[in-house]
Structure 1
Amino acid sequence: MIETTSSMMNKLSQSIEDSPAPIYARVKQAICLKINSGEWQANQRVPSESEMVKALGVSRMTVNRALRELTDEGILIRQQGVGTFVAKKKTHSALSEIHNIADEIAKRGNQHRAELIEIIRTNASMEEAINLSVRTNHTIFRATIVHFENELPIQIEERVVNATLAPDYDKQDFQQNETYDYLMKVAPMTEGEHLVEAVMPSAYECKLLQIEANEPCLQIKRRTWCDDQLVTTARLLSPSSRFQLFGHFGGK
């Protein structure tokens, strides 16, 4: 049975948190919760801007920004003259297969070392809550790790982990990179998505990576699911001179 727009809006309104965060961010978070809980299915039409403005009692600018950002992030698809729809989740391809970086380095005949910069058990910020599709009081782990190949820093890993799905994440041996094996054991990945782009690192990131300020980096933003639950989000930053992506497609 197809849910009516009125019912969808009533439930969406009830999902919006009462917090000091900007209203557009709270609307955005509520929509993400509906999608990732499975209440709003892939290819399902979502209420229009006008319907959201009327039902939620917010400005058109607020709704427009929430929908625009969700579209830019690939969570929604907006078709001119037709409507806005829930996008299909992206599964990882050969180019974006997720491996243990320690194993990748070992396969090249080199030595891996990981240095834990920081790990915090805390409540999710609004941005983190949106990315993990949880509420802002949800417990997460926030970790920063630097990976080395033959004592040369090759990647900064900034990871946010859903503590409900991986409660002992902070107890793992980060020096041995056992975190990957632990996450695959407690919440094995069934889906994943990547956003890859070239960026300029901050001064602090240049220091961690031991590179000059004018060297561009390759940034990978990644989210992984276990069934219908988001397990982690990660930002991986590597100097362009020390890292590359490779994929092979087709063939027999």
Structure 2
Amino acid sequence: MLENLPIYVQIHNQIKQDISQGRWKVGQRIPPERVLAQDFHVSRMTLRQAIQTLVDEGILQRKVGSGTYVASQKVQEKMSGTTSFTDIMLAQGKEPTSRVVSYRWSEPTLSEQEHLQLDKGKRIIRMERIRLADQVPICFEITSIPDWLGQCLNRQEITQSFYHALEEKNLKLGHAQQTVSSMLASEKVAELLAVKRGSSILRLRQITLLADGQPFEYVRTQYAGERFEFYLER
């Protein structure tokens, strides 16, 4: 440990290294603070500061009345454009899959008509999916796309790897407009994502455009907060 760093930072770094080297596995409880404080020859206050920093970083997780555990690594998405769910999962060494809940042609709501800039009388395809990583549900997604796009692509192309199918049709992706907020899981979403009702949910609303500025996708996604996080880079 580097002596010029504060003691709690040195302890933080050592515990983090121990976890990465497999001393404690995901889901395993680490020793009590009293024991760790003795091992590091520091006060429990100093040890607690190191542990709290690891909890804040999502590396450790406190469970009331039970102890402190190594947290499961969350799937991360960099908020920087239109990277597909499939690509995000593959980049993190996870197997992406989807389960279609519903897929139908429909009249658009006023919100869908506005966000997709549809003329009156135009229809949409509205698709509901559960997206999974290594068979673990990550998010519940409602995607609306305009009818002209539904006529260019078949159901398999739309439901399995939408962005890749667009590129194969020489439809170049542009930028995305994204809004993130928090909410509590409804009974339906909790069941679909295998979380408790009222659990923390990250909600993403996204309008995705082609390179020419035409909106082609309006997505409302609810992520299981305990399994997913967004991050920003400047």
After TM superposition, the score normalised by the length of structure 2 is 0.61
Pairing 1:1-252 to 2, within 5 Å after superposition: 95-173=79-157, 177-186=160-169, 187-226=171-210, 227-249=212-234
Letter in 1 for 2:163: Y
Deviation at 1:166, TM superposition (A): 4.3
Aligned-partner residue type, residue 198 of structure 1: S
Provide runs of 4+ in structure 1 moved above 4 Å: none
Counterpart secondary structure, 2:97: strand
Secondary structure at the aligned position of 1:124 is classed as coil
2:130 alignment partner, SS class = strand
1:192 counterpart SS class: strand
Q: Deviations over 1:161-187 (max 9, x none)?
A: 012134244422567x32221234443
Q: Deviations over 1:187-229 (max 9, x none)?
A: 3222320011111122111110000012111111000112132
How has the CA–CA distance of structure 1 residues 174 and 124 changed in structure 2, closer, same or farther, with 3 Å as cutoff? closer
Report the Cα distance in structure 1 between the residues aligned to 2:109 and 2:167, rounded to whole angstroms.
Answer: 25
Alignment identity in percent? 16
Higher strand share: 2
Q: Secondary structure at 1:164's aligned position in 2?
A: helix
Structure 1 residue 122: deviation in Å?
A: 2.1
The one-letter code sitting in structure 1 at the alignment partner of 2:91 is: K
Contact 1:124-1:139 at 8 Å conserved across structures? yes
Say if 1:193 and 1:223, in contact at 8 Å, map to a contact too: yes
The alignment covers a number of residue pairs equal to 155
CA–CA distance in 2 between the matches of 1:95 and 1:126?
27
Q: Give the TM-score of the pair, scaled to structure 1.
A: 0.57
Distance of 1:218 and 1:141 partners within structure 2: 24
Residues 78-124 of structure 1: per-residue CA shift (max 9 Å, x gap): xxxxxxxxxxxxxxxx6232212122112222212111111111222
What residue ranges of structure 1 are gaps of 5+ in the alignment?
1-93
Note if contact 1:115-1:174 (Cα within 8 Å) is conserved in structure 2. Answer: no
Is the contact between residue 115 and residue 146 of structure 1 (CA under 8 Å) also seen in structure 2?
yes
Cα RMSD for the two superposed structures: 1.9
Residue identity opposite 1:161 in structure 2: I
The 8 Å contact of residues 183 and 200 in structure 2, kept in 1 or not, is answered as yes
**Structure 2 CA distance for partners of 1:173 and 1:184, relative to 1, 3 Å:** closer
The match for 1:16 is: none
Task: Give distance in 2, aligned partners of 1:156 and 1:236.
Answer: 6
Matches of 2:103 and 2:154 in 1, distance apart?
Answer: 7
AA aligned opposite 1:181: H
Bigger CA radius of gyration:
2
